[in-house]
Amino acid sequence: MEPKKKIDKTLDAKNANLLKHMLEMELRRMSEGTGIDITFFMAVDGRMLSSYVPQTLSALQFRFLNLVKANIPYMCGQLDAENLKISLQQYKGGMIIISGVGNKAFLTSIVARDVEIVDAADIIRKVQKSSAVIRHLYEVRPMTPEAMAGYEPEVTEELKKLSRLLFVEKFEETREYKRNQDILADMKKKIGTVVGVGQIEEIVTITFNEIGTSFAYMTKEQWMRFLDTVINQHIRKLRGDMVADECARTWTPDLDRRLKTFM
């Protein structure tokens, strides 16, 4: 049995749905970690890209929300023309923070309570960190050391945390997981037709243990090894050379085709 290799349980935002979910996660984490009540991530042309808004709003939160909505055209024009980096607007009962995300997008965050200057400075620092994180996500940069070089350590760490959270929450929706699920179901069906339904789970479990992983994380090379092990260490012993050779002849190209379909 091979020692189990460390599995990379992180995930990049490889499609629009994953990107949307990752942006929403960061807005939620930023808001919950700072006491921000409402956050919008917008393009300078006025498009809403993502948001964090509570299901129920207090009267004060609603007032600030309407204030922001009324000023969106002005904010978009200001950011587009002047490339504004950060702006703090303090009011009785709260404040609004506007933070640029690259040249063509920005965050607008609402805090619907009175905030001391010292606390406001800490909130702004965290908003700026999230702005850097969101810019990385929005520009669809990879989660590699090279792509994150030059970031502040807390920005890099937040990106890594988001990547791990995305894996936990969304891995079962990825093409890789669905591919492996499809292949496993097909392999079990094939094995059952040769050795009988009663021995399927035993053969599959033993083979996965020998490879040192589970179906969800299987690579192309591991699936080919899985097939070879099933045929030569199990079917050949149970049903003989003729049956095993026929399985190898027909199953191998079919598995290869399935793997290529998902590439």
Q: Give the length of the chain.
A: 263
Residue 4 located in a structural domain? no
At 1 the pLDDT is 47
Residue 220 located in a structural domain? yes
| Same domain for 195 and 142 | no
State pLDDT tens for residues 164-173: 887 777 777 7
Task: Name the token pair of 16.
Answer: 């629009």
State pLDDT tens for residues 233-250: 999 999 999 999 999 999
Contact 41, 134 (CB under 8 A): yes
| Same domain for 165 and 109 | yes
pTM over 0.95: no
Measured CA to CA, the distance from residue 135 to residue 105 in angstroms comes to: 8
Domain that holds residue 244: 175-261
At 205 the pLDDT is 94
Residue 117 located in a structural domain? yes
Number of structural domains found in the chain: 2
At 169 the pLDDT is 74
Q: Where are the beta strands (DSSP E) in 123-190?
A: none
| Same domain for 224 and 124 | no
Residues 6+ apart with CB under 8 A from 160: 10, 143
User: What is the mean predicted confidence (pLDDT) over 199-215?
Assistant: 91
Say if residue 10's pLDDT is above 70.
Answer: no
Placement of tokens 């024009």 in the chain: 77
| Same domain for 140 and 225 | no
| Same domain for 226 and 208 | yes
| Same domain for 189 and 153 | no
State pLDDT tens for residues 64-109: 999 998 888 888 877 766 667 888 888 899 999 999 898 889 999 9
Measured CA to CA, the distance from residue 48 to residue 41 in angstroms comes to: 6
State pLDDT tens for residues 208-235: 999 988 888 899 999 999 999 999 999 9
At 46 the pLDDT is 87
Residue 50 located in a structural domain? yes
At 119 the pLDDT is 86
| Same domain for 154 and 69 | yes
User: What is the mean predicted confidence (pLDDT) over 41-66?
Assistant: 91
Say if residue 13's pLDDT is above 80.
Answer: no
Of the three residues 103, 136, 170, the one that is the final residue of a domain is: 170
| Same domain for 200 and 127 | no
Contact 246, 232 (CB under 8 A): no
Is the pLDDT higher at 171 or at 194?
194
Measured CA to CA, the distance from residue 81 to residue 106 in angstroms comes to: 13
Of the three residues 143, 170, 197, the one that is the final residue of a domain is: 170
Give counts: helices (H), strands (E), the chain. Answer: 9, 5
| Same domain for 183 and 150 | no
Say if residue 204's pLDDT is above 60.
Answer: yes
| Same domain for 149 and 186 | no
| Same domain for 179 and 158 | no
The overall average pLDDT reported for the chain is 87
Residues 6+ apart with CB under 8 A from 142: 12
Report residue 182 CA to chain centroid gap.
22
CATH number reported for the structural domain that contains residue 44 in this entry: 3.30.450.30
